[in-house]
A = this chain, B = another copy of it.
Amino acid sequence: MMISGKNSIGNNFSAMGTDVFYAKNPSSGEQLKTKYHEATVSEVNEAIVLAEKAFVQYREKTGFEKASFLDAIADELFQIENDVVDLCGQETGLPEGRLKGELGRTTNQLRLFASLLRDGSWVDARIDFANSDRKPLPKPDIRQMQIALGPVGIFGASNFPLAFSVAGGDTASALAAGCTIVVKAHPLHPGTSELVGQAILKAAKTCNMPNGVFSLVQGVSNDVGLAMVRNPLIKAIGFTGSYGGGKALFDEAAKREEPIPVYAEMGSSNPVFILPKALEDNQEALPEGLSNSVQLGVGQFCTNPGLTILQDSEKVRDFEQKLQNSISLSQSATMLSESIHKNYTKGLEKLKSKDSVTLVSSGKQQEMPTQGVAEVLSVTAANFLKDMELEEEVFGPSTLLVHAKDKIEVLAIAKNLTGHLTATVHGTEEDLREYSDLLKILERKVGRLLINGFPTGVEVCHSMVHGGPFPATTDARMTSVGTAAITRFTRPFCFQNFPDSLLPDELKTENPLKIFRVENGKTVVP
């Protein structure tokens, strides 16, 4: 497949601007050959105008038609697996196995949303039938279902070049919802983005989807993204990335004449609490499991366990020793880019410059560019509680051990946490009984609470919540992974006194789609 280096404004390549940029291979430090054209503000706006025109048609597509489109995207991606994995490997330094896995996850995600659409019940159809005999006033016929918001702007993430990028979760859920989309490719993997974008456009043609259902804009500068957020035709934003980036988009959207929802998943440090008896019972498995989780994907996961809270006991020293050994034997690995690597190093330096923080262990540094070296640091709970900065995410393969003297300090740490995507508690049955208050406190701090596991690895399924209270996200009411993500791009709509023929199939009295509905307050089985 050819890479043009241009933007895709609907089905047309476009390169009107003069700003260009190049991707870089983080493993070699070499600049890749293809020149990418940053989209101009007018190209972005053109894509959005097309998305608006396409929306008028796309929103009328049936669930089955949209499902076929999503499946066709998955098929196209599967067809170009080798090209994608090869180019993406060059742009991100991620190993083949990981990229194949991520592509599989991406296509499965598209197929999962397709199955949700074929099932059809996700629209939350509700009907209250008319009752002309009701006193004092007759009851009108009222029917509700979820409908699409409108054109959506999506920002590809750096750390998942496939599963959270051009054909990732935001795209799958927005297209499933019935929204047309304009995707801003992440500048660290523009070629991968174009390849994936072409696959989507090919699928759109095969499925007779309107021109403009999908556009892809490239760019390094903030102007491209800001143009998207500022355009009044855009009705929602999906973003996965840094706190700085996400919050800037949120603030910009709030300033619009018509404010719009911004779903920014901004990462977190995912505290892991290890309770005393669990520590004693799992002297091998826990340090090894934590070490693996910290290093997974060179720590470049939103769910990386950046904080580990330990309560003092005889066995804590052993645990720390084993973790130290495991980390000190670890080999550094290539991070996604020089800037991510630099920020990781800076984040660690900042921590280590604090009197309160001690370095416990470092992995081995390989003599290659952009190497992320695993590190374990340590601080007392008392000092941790005094310094809010210690809770902030350091994006990379590190964790900060927080040593609590007793249960009181453990609970104090939990209470003082801001919002995170996840929290984890390792505990025996006895621990969990004794620390039930800890679980209750953590429920208010996160979107997902795990027992005896590790937060890395986000299952794409119906029950997943990848979200959580601010500052983990800008909207705790939503998830960006799993089928529930679809409602980010919909709103409830109410048809009053419509003749059956003018109602959408989901709400026709005969229930032709055989979906679950709430009728007069009772769930009716189709």
Contacts and interface: CB of A to CB of B under 8 A. Distances in A.
A436 to B, nearest CB: 7
Contacts of A475: 261
A499 B451 contact: yes
A250 B259 CA distance: 10
A316 interface: no
A126 B448 contact: no
Contacts of A278: none
A521 interface: yes
A251 B253 CA distance: 11
Nearest to A482: B144
Given A451-B502, A492-B479, A463 B143 contact: yes
Contact of A502 (B124, B436, B474, B525): B436
Contacts of A259: 250, 254, 470, 474
Given A121-B523, A476-B491, A477-B491, A465 B502 contact: no
Nearest to A474: B259
A115 B259 CA distance: 35
Nearest to A507: B463
- Copies in the assembly, this chain: 2
A461 B469 CA distance: 30
Interface string A450-479: 111100010101111101011100111111
Given A142-B463, A463-B144, A496 B453 contact: yes
A139 B121 CA distance: 25
A490 B477 contact: yes
Contact of A128 (B261, B463, B476): B463
Contacts of A60: 440
A281 to B, nearest CB: 15
A157 to B, nearest CB: 20
Interface in A433-457: 436, 439-440, 443-444, 447-453, 457
Given A492-B484, A496-B451, A523 B518 contact: no
Contacts of A137: 457
Interface in A372-425: 418-419
B449 A495 contact: yes
B484 A449 contact: no
Contacts of A119: 521
A13 interface: no
A289 interface: no
Nearest to A260: B470
A432 B484 contact: no
B147 A443 contact: yes
A462 B492 contact: no
A523 B123 CA distance: 13
A462 B498 CA distance: 17
Contacts of A251: 254
Q: Which of A124, A469, A520 has the most CB of B within 10 A?
A: A469
A221 to B, nearest CB: 25
Nearest to A522: B119
A115 B452 CA distance: 37
A412 B47 CA distance: 23
A58 to B, nearest CB: 13
A448 B494 contact: yes
A57 to B, nearest CB: 11
A459 to B, nearest CB: 6
A150 B444 contact: yes
B459 A128 contact: yes
A463 B493 contact: no
A144 B465 CA distance: 7
A164 interface: no
25 contacts: A124-B484, A126-B462, A128-B459, A139-B459, A140-B450, A140-B457, A144-B462, A250-B254, A258-B419, A258-B471, A259-B470, A447-B492, A448-B494, A448-B495, A449-B493, A449-B496, A451-B496, A453-B496, A453-B497, A462-B521, A464-B494, A467-B492, A469-B491, A477-B491, A479-B494
Closest 10 CB pairs of A and B: A465-B494, A254-B254, A448-B494, A144-B463, A450-B496, A126-B463, A128-B461, A142-B463, A258-B470, A128-B463
Given A116-B521, A142-B464, 5 more contacts: A149-B476, A258-B418, A436-B502, A465-B492, A484-B492
